[in-house]
Amino acid sequence: MPNYTVTVATGSQWFAGTDDYIYLTLVGSEGCSERTLLDKPLYNDFERGAVDSYDISVGEDLGKIELVKIEKKKYWVHDDWHCKYITVKTPCGDYVEFPCFRWLVDDKEVILRDGRAQLPQHDKTGVAKQHRRKELEQRQKTYRWKEWHPGFPMSIDAKAHSELPRDIQFDSEKGVDFVLNYSKAIENLCINQFMHMFQSSWGDFADFERIFNCTLHIIIQYVMEHWKEDFMFGYQFLNGCNPVVIRKCTEIPDKFPVTQKILEDSLERGLTLEEELKEGNIFIADYEILDAVTPNATDPCTLQYLAAPICLLYKNSQSKIMPIAIQLGQSPGEDNPIFLPSDDEHDWLLAKIWVRSSDFHVHQTVTHLLRTHLISEVFGIAMFRQLPAVHPVFKLLLPHIRFTIAINTKAREQLICECGLFDKANGTGGGGHVELVQKSMKQFTYRSLCFPEAIKARGMDSQEELPYYFYRDDGCSVWEAVISFVTDVVNIYYDKDETVQEDEEIQAFVKDVCSFGMQDFDYCEFPKTLKTKEQLVEYLTIVIFTASAQHAGVNFGQFDWCSWIPNSPPTMRKPPPTKKGEVDLKHIVESLPDRGRSCWHLGAVWALSQFQENELFLGMYPDEHFIEKPVKEAMVKFCKKLAEVTNVIKSRNDGKKLPYYYLSPDRIPNSVAV
């Protein structure tokens, strides 16, 4: 009588084990085994982290084992169980691996294919094809698109984290409770005494230091000491939280009427403004996207204001980027003066503060929320809807979607919803952030997600012209490592361009992203089909890079650069100045956030800058969805390249007063999960 040995591994998450009834059925090419009871309640099998083995005898050889059916039946209460993998040892001594890494909930069965990745056109048996089709049919019922706001990318159809499919929920809902995390941050930062002091202004800039009762990181300390200086203001456009706004200026826009005469004191090389433009020494940051966005009006006791400034910057002879002119509105006129470094120190400082505040809003809502969180969710939902677990691209992308849908759902539930935490301290709260996403979507293109192209489109690609743009340099290094890894994996499964074209599931995936996720907005220019291996490689690289490196580059520096409130005010309580010579220190301090909003802001940027517990960083794939040796070799090669990039960055940072490490691979999580 043939004997099969089945090994079952239970996950190590809390509550991963179970005391329910567990049944297993083997499905082979020549027949099926009987439905076998592996575990009864109180047997102490299938505990957290356990690996349990069982012998199953059958009447005759089952042939090639194609599927494993695993069932969980309730004993007393529903007891979710996380299965990592199942292996089957056949009578002839072969081992067949069945990766699972899924939760079994309620009384539903899970049917597993063996771990070899397979394209749909390469499945030959009816059993395999049917399993593939049924898995996607079920997923498409479970993962449904929903429009959160008109003009937004589509999101998951779930009102709360608890409504999500168990497989994409956080292991512990407490770990992503924004109210709890913000409260914990405020407690850790020892700023409870200021929490309810809304409408109460600080006395002066030094007074802001009272909310820092922790050991300060080197960057925070440096920002506090140098934030007023022009070089620090310019440096942040390159290597701060939002290093994606600055672009080379080749022509002064009509709406910003600066002239040679106005700027001559700032131009060091003895060249005219036209000559400086031609030489590539002039840069611009334009916050037009904020024009006419509704400021936060949720607190009737405090008026809050927004601006849409334009800032001109100059690369001086030391290759530092320095501000040389600021206009706080989009329409030139007597009530919209152009502020200059030669103006009164308070006028110039307040103009820079307004730019920094505007940059904060664009960073939080456009750069961070829309262009990493929301777009990664689109990729994730489409992946679950269109790619079965056996597809190599599903196996490749799954680690880079980990917890993304969960964090976004929780944010819609607590953070960016109406009357959410975002409203408490942000000038774009109360609906302005929604308007900002809607406006930004009209400028959002697929090509802008391709990192090297996005850098080049802003005229910022020359290392010789801009030697201190570390975001660009490190980002390009990581991009090259990712694209090399993706190329290796794609080459394993796709031998030619026609194989990509014949893969109906990958075609359905990209179409779902465009037609549903991005709502078929023509201006976004997302592809609906992929015709070549090169296009597939670029597409997958964009998905992985956006979820990992791009998110890390714009998220984890928030506490460093935004915790010193005057350097990055989340709201302004006085309107932008319309004349020069009327501003003093008192006016500036009263423009900045009050004590209560400062504390909410500080708690927010601290919480958002923390890594998840048990974070998985780029190149770490502990769940072995791939079993093929060539892919595992590609992963080893990928990790080696990432380690080389990490070492280069570490060497460059040694001894620097302002190290840049946000795109160091050992600090880049695999996915958007915070």
Give the annotated binding-site residues for Fe cation.
368, 373, 551
Token readout for 40 is: 């009864």
Closest CA to 548 of 387, 672, 407, 380: 672
**Dihedral, CA atoms, 180, 185, 191, 196, nearest 10 degrees?**
-30
Sign of the dihedral defined by the CA atoms of residues 232, 233, 238, 240, in that order: positive
Question: Could you tell me which residues are annotated as the binding site for Ca(2+)?
Answer: 17, 39, 79-80
Distances (CA, A) of 263 to 110, 189, 324, 341, 372: 69, 43, 7, 9, 37
SS3 of 24, please? strand
Cβ-Cβ contacts under 8 Å for 233 (sequence gap 6 or more): 227, 322, 323, 352, 355, 356
Residue that has been written with the tokens 């909930």 in this structure: 105
Token readout for 472 is: 């660009």
**Dihedral, CA atoms, 75, 136, 670, 532, nearest 10 degrees?**
160
Question: Could you tell me which residues are annotated as the binding site?
Answer: 17, 39, 79-80, 368, 373, 551
Per-position b or e across 372-405, b if 16+ CB within 10 A of its CB: bbbbbbbbbbbbbbbbbbbbbbbbbbbbbbbbbb
**DSSP secondary structure letter of residue 515:** I
Question: Which DSSP string do the residues of 311-343 spell out, in sequence order?
Answer: EEEEE-TTS-EEEEEEESSSS-BTTBPEE-TTS
CA distance 583 to 345: 9
Query: Contact at 8 Å (CB) between 66 and 90?
Result: no
**DSSP secondary structure letter of residue 253:** -
